[in-house]
A and B are shown apart, each in its own frame.
Chain A
Amino acid sequence: MRAASVQRPASRLFRTSAALSAGQGTHIHRDSAGNSESTPWEWTPESLKKIDMYLARYPDTPQGKMSAIMPLLWVAQQQTDEAHATIKAKPSYDGAFAFDSPQGSGGWVPLAAMHAIADLLGCPRMAVYEVATFFTMYNRNQQGKFHIQLCATTPCMVCGAYDILASIEKHLGIKCGETTADGTFTLTEVECLGACVNAPMVQINDYFFEDLTPQSVVKLLDDLKAGNPVKIGPQNARVHSLGPLGRTSLKSPPKGPYCRDLSQIPAN
């Protein structure tokens, strides 16, 4: 196991927030083989292009530049997603599409990348640490190739999220916050991912896999590991988030009045 192990307490106390159970352990950095101050970090050309884009959005002052800490951490996390190219994502219905580049959820931010960001923005390293530890979507420890984020907030929980969780835990032999020995999967429990209608669901790297059953999630994981094509979105026959009656509203363009046509308003 690569990541620090955190036991999920039996009952949900107010201290067992997502921050603690999200595989990040404490808010203290511990040097590990792949993550220390001396680990090399190089921005890729694509990342540098994105950084330029983000920096252009903020004022060129010390404070203004510090606003770019968040997007830059995300750029680092996009850069470290190694699994994206191996996921053969298959849209489950017409109109859905797969991302052509990593969106960030599958990566992690090494300490060296935080330092690179601080140097780039000319701000204290502590300012970057503070942001990176505050937000739970920044992964500060090395993740498995596939990062399974299991939603266990109320709607998913009611629809059987913990059955899914038990199935994954049994199948992979890890608990929440842990990574499999071969470094393929990291499992974390997260708060609402906003796919409540299609509960229960997991997010694996950048893709949502919805309407899961304890059996289908096992197959999904096996397919991902084997590099087989996987269906993204609902794993049953559902289209979008439609209910059993199919589409019942918004069948035609809505009647007016519409909002004003912005293209008709002259600039300035």
Chain B
Amino acid sequence: MLAALQARAAATARPGRVSLQLLHKGARGVRSSDARASSAVQPAQPSQPAAVSAVVQLDEAGFAVLPKELPSMRGVDFKQELDPRYAETIEVIIDGHPVQVQKGSSLIQACEQVGIQVPRFCYHERLSVAGNCRMCLVEIEKAPKPVAACAMPAAPGMKVFTNSPIVKKAREGVMEFLLANHPLDCPICDQGGECDLQDQSLFFGSDRGRTTESRRGVEDKNLGPLVKTVMTRCIHCTRCVRFATEVAGVDELGTVGRGNAMEIGTYVERMLDSEISGNIVDLCPVGALTSKPYAFTARPWELRSVESIDVLDGYGSNIRVDTRGGEVMRILPRLNEDINEEWISDKTRFAYDGLKRQRLDTPLIRPDPEMPLQPATWKDALTLVAQKFKATPGARIGAFAGPLADVESMLALKDLCNAFDSEAIHCDVPAGPLADCRAAYTLGSTIAGVEEADAVLLLSTDLKREAPLLNARLRRRVYHDGVRVASVGPRVPLTYEYEHLGDSVSQLLELANGTHPFCKVLAGAQRPLVLVGTGAYERTDARGVAWAVQKLVTSVPALIQDGWLGFGTVQPTAAAVGALDLGLTPLASSAAAGVGASDGAIAEPLGLVYLLGYDSIDLDRLSPDAFVVYQGHHGDVGAETADVVLPGSAYTEKVGTYANMEGRAQRTARAVSPPGEARDDWKILRAISELAGKPLPYAGVDGIRERLAAVAPQLADGTESIHAVSPDIAKAMLAVRASDKFDFDTKTPFASCIDNFYMTDAISRASTTMASCTKAFAK
């Protein structure tokens, strides 16, 4: 009977996204000769989104008839369209080759566009130019001395030499000065093997030193539980300082002192309180800033890397999982311009130690309600669950999918319950009344599109914690373009200036009625954006709030227009969009998270409760005779209450589809094997269906993908594209009736849906690193 589980191991790892774009999207530099041959200097015209402009048809039940071919946002590159720089190129002569490079490039960018690597420490394409390491010195014809390529704009006809004797001598001189004070502790340095200084000293370093001076020593700084500092190794590139001030929006880091006594530090001892502070570990070109949890655990050449995606929040960051001997050693970001660029949040990066603790690795059965759970065989456990499915009437079967559930397992769960006449399949999403409208529960603007917005309204969200990288994008928009941001919700620091309009429903109603002054700002904007946190729907008056949001959204014409959907929800979990796409029932409110209370749809107390990684069960509302099955990977609250525990796989151990907050379906990859007897989640459900006598009509991963394509084609194509909702459908779905009346709770303030950024799910709750972060940072 385990044949179904063991047959056809899911070895269908998706080929990783190859994205080697180093600089800008759009036109890459091409050699002139090629350019002349093909005259392909101009970037390819971006394909326009195929917007559906037909009037929406409604079927008999009143639902919109959706077009078979959904319009796709794939291929649309706003930046390319808007930035005229991409169309213009100039000719520079690099190392004797005439090449076309983008106008406005610096020399280092120009060299990169034609594939010439210039060594650098301080220059980083996403940070401002500092020009203080001097490693990128190049020679320019007629210039009296070598110039820093990162700070020198390319001019037409400029003759640049990147490999001449002068350049070599200059770089050797710079390297000698850098190494004069750098300790020779590579054998005990965590950066060893992936260190820019180490690599470049192979090319430009001398095999002996000439200094007789003693090396300087610098005191280490305490930046918190994530970033380990060995400040003597610092070469003062200031990348960390620039990242902290420009991207993360924390001003605590700076350079103190001067000359040889200069240090990077905080002056007054202070931890780096940012949700994306871990990125300075990646940015540091030497071993001054390294990962504290990863310290001394592995060397880079021992690691096997698997390209995957993160599921600990709704952002869908692209990650690289580094493993050694079946153990996840660390998680690093992977470049994806549309989502996380090259950053990831600290939870994504550091919660991996939670994958090794509190794991469920064998099936467990509670022989008697008073007794503890006992280890059992898969056969006994699955048979018991199958019997319960057969014995319980459909109306008394309820299923709940948790925040880490993948689309395949939720689909199998839904099919299984439906086969036993149960419709009560819930998901842990407080999307509430707007759960039928994809335009409402996804981020219609797309993540990258947030940077197109010119007026932003936040509702009931603490964006810095719910989606730190989205917040960083918005911050960039505010700082570079002065976009106005207003918030109705918790008054929290967002790392940029915003107008706090209040935190009560009254302000939302004023906005919806058009009487609030900020309505003028929204109405005057070309691409306004309204971002709603799911905290808005976790209230008792969620229906009224949803109505008011709909009214607000439909009252501003520019919010929904061709090519721009300026309304969206910031989903905090990776399962949310997938669950709603599959038609799982959202919980009306967190208060209703008890069993059998969702929207009053279930009258009878549940006899069989199936928890798929669902840990927010309300024990008091669970009927005492209910049989609880918990399928998941961590021994969290859900497993403690269960009568049967079925061990599943975590996101690093399976190939699972997840849709992020913008509705982009991406797949995780299997980096390590599940521990012990744990299995792929959807296969467990498939096995139950077989034992219960109603086998699901798919046995392999291809089968379930086919089924997924039939149920939710936007999740199945695996192209990582976003299927945009057409403006007409969005308008029709969001239309409100003026006659609707709701009771509003004006006393309860709008709150964020998460209290503690560092602990939001079973994995991060089991992580000791996240526990120390909670201790250090959570307020």
Contact = CB atoms under 8 A, between A and B. Distances in A.
B277 to A, nearest CB: 15
Nearest to B265: A28
Interface string A5-31: 000000001110101100000111100
A29 B270 CA distance: 11
A37 B266 CA distance: 14
B268 A29 contact: yes
Interface in B213-232: 213-214, 216, 219
B256 A129 contact: yes
Given A125-B251, A127-B254, A17 B268 contact: no
B256 A130 contact: yes
Interface residues of B, number: 23
A126 interface: yes
Given A28-B267, A37-B268, A126 B253 contact: yes
Contacts of B253: 126
B261 interface: yes
A129 B254 CA distance: 8
B653 interface: no
A111 interface: yes
Nearest to B218: A26
B268 A134 contact: no
Interface string A100-123: 000000000001000000000000
B213 A27 contact: no
Interface residues of A, number: 21
B258 interface: yes
Contacts of A17: 259-261
Nearest to A13: B213
A129 B258 contact: no
Contacts of A37: 268
Given A15-B214, A19-B259, A27 B267 contact: yes
Interface string A121-154: 0001111011001110000000000000000000
B60 interface: no
A139 to B, nearest CB: 14
A129 B267 contact: yes
A78 to B, nearest CB: 22
A13 B267 contact: no
Contact of A15 (B216, B219, B252, B255): B216
Contact of A130 (B213, B254, B259, B268): B254
Most buried by A among B216, B256, B260: B256
Nearest to B251: A124
Nearest to B268: A29
A170 to B, nearest CB: 29
A14 B213 CA distance: 8
B740 interface: no
Nearest to A29: B268
Nearest to B253: A126
B263 interface: yes
A111 B268 CA distance: 9
B238 to A, nearest CB: 11
B211 to A, nearest CB: 9
B493 interface: no
A134 B258 contact: yes
A28 B231 CA distance: 13
A226 B258 CA distance: 38
B259 A126 contact: no
B269 interface: yes
A133 B258 contact: yes
B251 A134 contact: no
B267 A19 contact: no
A205 B254 CA distance: 30
Most buried by A among B254, B257, B269: B257
B263 A27 contact: yes
Contacts of A135: 258
A28 B263 CA distance: 9
Contacts of B219: 26, 28
Contacts of B214: 13, 15
B718 to A, nearest CB: 45
A133 B257 contact: yes
Contacts of A27: 256-257, 261-263, 265, 267
Nearest to A130: B254
Interface string B238-260: 00000001000001111111111
B267 A133 contact: yes
Nearest to B215: A15
A129 B268 CA distance: 9
B251 A127 contact: yes
A15 B216 CA distance: 7
Contacts of B268: 29, 37, 111, 125, 129
Contacts of A129: 254, 256, 267-268
B213 A126 contact: no
Contacts of B213: 13-15
Contacts of B267: 27-29, 126, 129, 133
B493 to A, nearest CB: 13
A127 B254 CA distance: 8
B569 to A, nearest CB: 33
Contacts of A15: 213-214, 216, 260-261
A140 to B, nearest CB: 9
A19 B261 CA distance: 8
Contacts of A111: 268
B158 to A, nearest CB: 32
Most buried by B among A124, A125, A126, A133: A126
Contacts of B216: 15
Interface in A183-227: none
Contacts of A19: 257-259, 261
B588 to A, nearest CB: 44
Contacts of B256: 27-28, 129-130, 133-134
A119 to B, nearest CB: 13
Nearest to A36: B268
Contacts of A133: 256-258, 267
B519 to A, nearest CB: 29
A234 B259 CA distance: 34
Contacts of B263: 26-28
21 contacts: A13-B214, A14-B213, A15-B261, A19-B257, A19-B259, A19-B261, A27-B257, A27-B267, A28-B265, A28-B267, A29-B267, A124-B245, A124-B254, A125-B268, A126-B252, A126-B254, A127-B251, A129-B267, A129-B268, A130-B256, A134-B257
Given A17-B260, A27-B263, A129-B268, 11 more contacts: A14-B260, A15-B214, A15-B216, A15-B260, A15-B261, A20-B261, A27-B256, A126-B254, A126-B267, A133-B256, A133-B267
Interface of B: 213-214, 216, 219, 245, 251-263, 265-269
Nearest 10 A/B pairs, CB to CB:
A124-B251, A27-B257, A126-B254, A129-B267, A27-B256, A133-B256, A29-B268, A134-B258, A130-B254, A19-B261
